Chains A and B, each alone.
Chain A
Amino acid sequence: MTANNPLLKVNNAGIRFGGLKAVSDVNLELKQGELVGLIGPNGAGKTTFFNLLTGVYVPTEGSIELDGDKLNGLAPYKITKKGISRTFQNIRLFNELSVLDNVKVAYHSLAKHSIMSSIFRLPKHFSEEKYMEEKAIEFLKIFNLDNVLHEKAKNLPYGQQRRLEIARALAANPKLLLLDEPAAGMNPQETEELMNLIALIRKKFDLTILLIEHDMLLVMGVCERIYVLDHGQLIADGTPEQIRNNPKVIEAYLGEEVS
């Protein structure tokens, strides 16, 4: 990929549910390695936009390209394989599975053994499963989750669940990571740890990150650029400084708290 081409290119994308335009005319570009925030008042369409990017919803207008590949209309799992991975606003872990297995599920596309080789326990099954397991354990060390490998995901404290969800998303080996309100429900100390973690993984995995966040401190603190969505349309973009002083943004947030 050349330095000039954006990693993610969204052209006039939008979706309507019946007559209602939930998101429309969104134009957005992310360069390789950027950390960009997406903010907006409640109901502005931020999560809907994530759902468009990840294929949960199919855009009714416009196009979405990752690395020059068109993503419109692809099933979510195919988009994940192309290199977009995400976390969810309301944590969606595989609750009954262990921490380790949660990550292994994300490694599923790496596995080269067929169903038949698993059923008949051919050597390939053992070697591949072992490879996945070791890789997952190594990986979880980065997130300080290697001491709870065999704990069921549902039994983890809230902060660790958030961390595991990010770890799992990263294990799918994305070029672009989408974080949907990663700091929701966290106390200031946990939020700070989270900010450090985001900075760390970004460097370590050479990632591009787009994050939705309500915590302005976090957004302004870590993001290089910010897009503002209101009533399903982008109303502003720019550096944190520019956004802070943008009259349109202030208007959109009027009545909402800007902390």
Chain B
Amino acid sequence: MEFLQQLVNGVSLGSIYALIALGYTMVYGIVKLINFAHGDVFMVGAFIGFYSITILDLGFFPSLLISMVTCAILGVLIERIAYKPLRNATRIAALITAIGVSLLIEYGMIYVRGAQPEAYPGNLIPATSIDFLGVKVSSQSLLILGTSLVLMILLQFIVHKTKIGKAMRAVSHDMDAARLMGINVNNTISATFAIGSALAGAAGVAFGMYYTKIEPLMGIIPGLKAFVAAVLGGIGIIPGAMVGGLLLGVIESLVSAAGFSLWRDGVAFVVLILILIFRPAGLFGKNVREKV
């Protein structure tokens, strides 16, 4: 039963990773940039959620919505100000800029409100738990899982059934051809950042609910792990990010369960290096070659 219990915990944690990983993968798919600042958007989302719950006295869902909208705006701003001018620059320049933006958000946040952590209020939803085959599933876990599922289905709908989704797929396939076909590439990229960042915002609120403690540097490790999840699933592939996130969450929980909880943070990186060496295209990806 312990095993099943850990599996359930892993899935909850994994769904948070998956939400963050989606933003990474979408952005990478479209502009080939590892958006290091994505983990920090997640952090900002957690704080926005916290403030709307405690200061504005709102419930879970309105707070979630506010956090998603704010993060979407933040994501678009980051893209327009820092990344857009670099669209034709070298990959290294873009990567360094992303690192710079990430540090700026982290330490900007500390500068504005200090480095002290905050505790998410625990009384937001009734703290009951369901016993299922001897496994305790808390109401928080259910809420997180449910929210993630709804958002992922929504994302699938947007990407596959709407006009902007079609434009996103076209641009990620071939930016120049998409432009020639009359697609507004800039708006499409902004939309991608907006959607990805909104998901990260939601993940931030979910994380706060689940772990209760939030602080300005909280985005670094989950952000990196979510990136690992994206690579695991095959970067640029949306279902890959979902599966990768869940898988990573489960692996981490099982490692903890096996008594190696101090090594938990290392596991993600071992997974990363193994996948990069043996299957760099990820579980769902196809190998592509550089054209000579």
Contact = CB atoms under 8 A, between A and B. Distances in A.
A30 B139 CA distance: 75
A51 B292 CA distance: 8
Contacts of A18: 286
A47 B290 CA distance: 13
A51 B289 CA distance: 12
Interface string B269-290: 0000000000000000010010
B90 to A, nearest CB: 12
Interface in A5-46: 17-18
Interface residues of A, number: 6
A17 B292 CA distance: 15
Say what secondary structure dominates the interface of chain B: loop
B9 to A, nearest CB: 39
Nearest to A48: B292
B155 to A, nearest CB: 29
Interface in A38-63: 47, 51, 56
B267 to A, nearest CB: 33
Contacts of A88: 292
Contacts of A56: 292
B211 to A, nearest CB: 44
Interface in B237-292: 286, 289, 292
Interface string A178-210: 000000000000000000000000000000000
A143 B133 CA distance: 81
Contacts of B286: 18
A17 B286 CA distance: 11
A196 to B, nearest CB: 28
Contacts of B289: 17
A178 B64 CA distance: 62
Nearest to A54: B292
Nearest to B290: A56
Contacts of B292: 47, 51, 56, 88
B289 to A, nearest CB: 8
Nearest to A56: B292
A225 to B, nearest CB: 25
A47 B291 CA distance: 10
B150 to A, nearest CB: 36
A21 to B, nearest CB: 16
A56 B286 CA distance: 19
Interface of A: 17-18, 47, 51, 56, 88
Interface of B: 286, 289, 292
